[in-house]
């Protein structure tokens, strides 16, 4: 008898996957990009709130799908039921080769940005390819830090290979530690930091393009609220624990992000935030000196470590689900009989993610992955409406609050965001689309092979 995945993740593990995977490098880095785009702290808070409410609307919608269809792969199963196998496959293809792998690569890159505070030599270029393959069409440069990022990804893949319960326990522990550390940063900034001088002029006018560019950065920081549904088949009492984890976890992250930004802008002016990519580090340096900046680097690395672990734990279940249905390499559907994990899928996702670390810088990576991700987020949220009509008798232990307004608003904003990102970052967006389309001939191949075997 073939080994199966086990329901070893409890309520705390499910919640820590949401919080721990969402809060990664973004809160420490993206306020720099955001204020440069919208010009004022007030507009930065508008973008954070808007992106948070949008993510919460997605969580409310996903909660219905997760409770009704608690299967491995999350969105893969929802898209399959709503639109058919081709869209489910394209989702799994995108997660494997663009979105989830790109997210893992981006997090690992962010980890090394902070590690260079302690080891500056990691930022040294050791090889350069003089072709327009790098960020912004420049030469592709390889740094020692990228090798370290790749090693970190593979180390966490090894850990998750040995059981979802072990991965879940690590996730709970590291998430608790990082939330405590971020709370300390907030207390230092708001309680001990000297407020900057009032009356600073805005850096730029917050036009529509600037707003959506800042929103892209905010949504990258919020990205991951959906990850827990990917391990739905391994969560205990999924009909209860999945909706709670999604909604309460996302709401908690919104609160943490707003307080952290309040601390940043209490101490630093908009111009200072725009001039410092490591915003939290600069704020802590201003209050506590070099020791404070070093503490932020440690907190950021712990935060990113938890997000990386959660991303590998959850993301590996998507190619596993596709392979189990016959739409990916058969070996990827293998479940280790001793550890009850999709070991081949974990290794495949992690190795590809490690290779993506070499593809570009932090901002280019998050723009590349956030664009195709939101195409599929919008389609998945629309699946709530589709399945209400297509499968009205499907048991729904939880129903979306505010239906149908909440899902419709989410989809409309997702469409506007997709168009704006395509306009603002056409190179990275078109690369994301091309990688999705590249999956079509592979779908045809696996679909023909599946039909022959039945």
In this prediction, residue 113 carries a pLDDT of 78
In this prediction, residue 201 carries a pLDDT of 56
Q: Which of 46-60, 197-211, 373-387, 438-452 has the lowest mean pLDDT?
A: 197-211
| 406 pLDDT more than 90 | yes
Are the C-beta atoms of residues 244 and 236 closer than 8 Å to each other?
no
Beta bridge partners of 9: 235
Task: Work out the mean pLDDT of the chain and round it to a whole number.
Answer: 86
Beta bridge partners of 143: 125
Instruction: Specify if 2 maps to a domain.
Output: no
Transcribe 223-281 into DSSP letters.
Answer: TTTTGGGGBGGGBSSHHHHHHHHHHHHHHHHHHHHHHHHHHHHHHS-HHHHHH-SSHHH
Find the domain containing 85 and state its range.
Answer: 11-453
Instruction: Specify if 72 maps to a domain.
Output: yes
| 240 pLDDT more than 60 | yes
Instruction: Specify if 408 maps to a domain.
Output: yes
| 297 pLDDT more than 60 | yes
Look at residue 125 and give its three-state secondary structure: strand
In this prediction, residue 156 carries a pLDDT of 93
In this prediction, residue 351 carries a pLDDT of 95
Check which CATH number belongs to the domain holding 141 and give it: 1.20.1740.10
What's the mean pLDDT in 15-44? 87
Instruction: Specify if 1 maps to a domain.
Output: no
**In the chain, how many domains are there?**
1
Instruction: Tell me how far apart the alpha carbons of residues 170 and 179 are, in angstroms, rounded to a whole number.
Output: 14
What's the mean pLDDT in 57-84? 93
Q: Which of 122-136, 180-194, 214-228 has the lowest mean pLDDT?
A: 122-136
More confident residue, 324 or 144: 324
Burial readout 275-312 (b: 16 or more C-beta within 10 A, e: otherwise)? ebbbbbbbbbbbbbeeebbbbbbebbbbbbbbbbbbbb
| 419 pLDDT more than 90 | no
In this prediction, residue 144 carries a pLDDT of 82
Instruction: Specify if 269 maps to a domain.
Output: yes
Instruction: Specify if 350 maps to a domain.
Output: yes
Instruction: Specify if 4 maps to a domain.
Output: no
| CA-to-CA separations, 94 to 379, 412, 438, in angstroms, rounded | 13, 22, 10
For the ranges 105-109, 127-131, 330-334, the maximum mean pLDDT occurs at: 330-334
Instruction: Specify if 359 maps to a domain.
Output: yes
Are the C-beta atoms of residues 243 and 228 closer than 8 Å to each other?
no
| 409 pLDDT more than 70 | yes
Q: What percent of the chain has pLDDT over 70?
A: 92
In this prediction, residue 139 carries a pLDDT of 66
What's the mean pLDDT in 31-40? 87
| 316 pLDDT more than 90 | yes
In this prediction, residue 322 carries a pLDDT of 95
């Amino acid at each position: 008898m073939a080994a199966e995945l086990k329901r070893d993740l409890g309520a705390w593990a499910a919640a820590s996957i949401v919080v721990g995977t969402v809060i990664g490098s973004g809160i420490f880095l993206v306020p720099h990009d955001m204020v440069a785009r919208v010009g004022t702290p007030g507009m930065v808070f508008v973008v954070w709130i808007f992106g948070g409410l949008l993510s919460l609307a997605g969580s409310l919608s996903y909660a219905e799908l997760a409770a009704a269809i608690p299967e491995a792969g999350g969105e893969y199963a929802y898209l399959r039921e709503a639109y058919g196998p081709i869209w489910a496959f394209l989702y799994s293809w995108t997660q494997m080769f663009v979105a989830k792998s790109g997210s893992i690569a981006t997090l690992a890159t962010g980890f090394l940005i902070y590690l260079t505070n302690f080891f500056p030599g990691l930022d040294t270029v050791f090889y350069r390819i003089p072709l327009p393959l790098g960020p912004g069409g420049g030469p592709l440069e390889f740094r020692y830090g990228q090798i370290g990022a790749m090693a970190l990804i593979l180390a966490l893949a090894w850990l998750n290979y040995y059981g979802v319960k072990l991965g879940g326990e690590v996730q709970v522990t590291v998430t608790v530690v990082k939330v405590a550390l971020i709370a300390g940063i907030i207390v230092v900034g708001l309680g001990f930091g000297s407020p900057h001088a009032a009356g600073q002029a805005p850096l730029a006018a917050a036009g529509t393009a600037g707003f959506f560019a800042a929103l892209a950065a905010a949504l990258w920081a919020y990205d991951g609220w959906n990850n827990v549904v990917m391990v739905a088949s391994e969560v205990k009492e999924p009909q209860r624990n999945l909706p709670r984890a999604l909604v309460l976890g996302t709401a908690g992250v919104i609160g943490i992000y707003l307080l952290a930004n309040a601390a940043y802008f209490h101490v630093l002016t908009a111009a200072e935030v725009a001039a410092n990519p490591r915003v939290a580090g600069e704020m802590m340096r201003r209050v506590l000196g070099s020791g404070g900046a070093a503490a932020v680097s440690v907190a950021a690395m712990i935060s990113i470590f938890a997000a990386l672990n959660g991303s590998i734990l959850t993301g590996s279940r998507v190619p596993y689900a596709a392979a189990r249905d016959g739409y990916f390499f058969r070996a990827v559907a293998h479940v280790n009989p001793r550890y009850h994990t999709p070991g081949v899928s974990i290794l495949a996702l992690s190795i590809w993610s490690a290779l993506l670390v070499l593809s570009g810088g932090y901002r280019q990576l998050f723009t590349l992955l956030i664009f195709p991700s939101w195409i599929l987020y919008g389609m998945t949220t629309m699946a709530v409406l589709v399945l209400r009509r297509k499968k009205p008798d499907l048991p729904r232990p939880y129903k979306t609050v505010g239906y149908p307004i909440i899902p419709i608003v989410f989809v409309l904003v997702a469409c506007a965001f997709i168009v704006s990102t395509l306009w603002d970052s056409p190179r990275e967006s078109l690369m994301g689309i091309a990688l999705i389309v590249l999956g079509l001939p592979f779908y045809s191949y696996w679909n023909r092979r599946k039909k022959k075997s039945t």
